[in-house]
């Protein structure tokens, strides 16, 4: 989508890097405190999902005009945040859905087979439904997985691509780089899940 890419290029390097830094902070919150601040995370997820869709649609309709994309993204994000915040179970489902999709995408990165996309969709649906049945377990795993993905890729943008998201895309074509990011993602996700479970245990002991 050249129009949308052009819109991103309108941002200065410092503005892009600031956005990536915010992303890293959000990813860290998801990864290590996801279930502890679940309602906030659900609202933030709604903001990100709806805001992204609204911004992309505005970019397509206005031929990539950045100001309209930002306004649409903010308006759509606020609407999405309120929607998921008040529709709690829907928010839980979406977290499980995203967690399953991210996990499958990372594990199948670089697979050219047609079945890979079907596995990702299946994993996403399974994650969403499982979150409704086993909320604490699946949401903890999902937020750790999502947060680790955001954090690791955000740090990689600074380390591997000098703060440029487009340059990172080129770096990810290297299989060794993909393997390193996969390993780092797995380690950070495991650390986040462990930290969250320790928080759950401490909270339960405090109530007891």
Place of tokens 């906030």: 40
What pLDDT digit, counting tens, does each position of 20-34 carry?
889 999 999 999 999
What pLDDT digit, counting tens, does each position of 31-48 carry?
999 999 999 999 999 999
Residue 202 has which token pair?
């401490």
Residues 6+ apart with CB under 8 A from 98: 45, 124, 127, 142, 146
Distance, C-alpha 38 to centroid of its chain: 15
Residues 6+ apart with CB under 8 A from 12: none
Strands, E assignment, 54-175:
none
- The H or E element containing residue 116 is helix 115-133
Contact in structure between 16 and 154 (CB atoms under 8 Å): no
Please report the pLDDT score of residue 204 as a whole number: 47
Please report the pLDDT score of residue 6 as a whole number: 45
Please report the pLDDT score of residue 156 as a whole number: 87
Q: What is the DSSP letter of 12?
A: -
Per-range mean pLDDT, top range of 106-110, 123-127, 152-156: 123-127
Mean pLDDT of the region 50-72: 85
Domain ranges for the chain, please list them.
2-198
Number of alpha carbons in the 13 Å side-chain half-sphere of residue 140: 17
Q: Does this model's pTM top 0.95?
A: no
């Amino acid at each position: 989508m050249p129009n949308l890419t052009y819109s991103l290029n309108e941002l200065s390097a410092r503005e892009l890097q600031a956005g990536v830094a915010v992303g890293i902070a959000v990813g860290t919150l998801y990864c290590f405190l996801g279930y502890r601040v679940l309602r906030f995370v659900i609202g933030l997820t709604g903001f990100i999902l709806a805001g992204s869709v609204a911004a992309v649609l505005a970019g397509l309709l206005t031929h990539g005009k950045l100001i309209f994309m930002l306004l649409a993204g903010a308006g759509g994000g606020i609407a999405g945040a309120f929607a998921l915040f008040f529709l709690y179970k829907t928010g839980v489902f979406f977290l499980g859905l995203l967690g399953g999709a991210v996990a499958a995408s990372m594990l199948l990165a670089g697979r050219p087979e047609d079945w890979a996309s079907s596995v990702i969709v299946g994993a996403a649906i399974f994650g969403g439904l499982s979150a409704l049945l086993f909320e604490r377990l699946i949401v903890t795993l999902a937020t750790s997985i999502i947060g680790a993905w955001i954090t690791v890729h955000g740090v990689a943008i600074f380390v591997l691509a000098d703060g440029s998201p487009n340059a990172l895309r080129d770096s990810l074509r290297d299989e060794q780089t993909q393997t390193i990011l996969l390993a780092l993602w797995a380690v950070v996700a495991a650390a986040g899940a462990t930290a969250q479970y320790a928080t759950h245990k401490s909270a339960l002991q405090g109530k007891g």
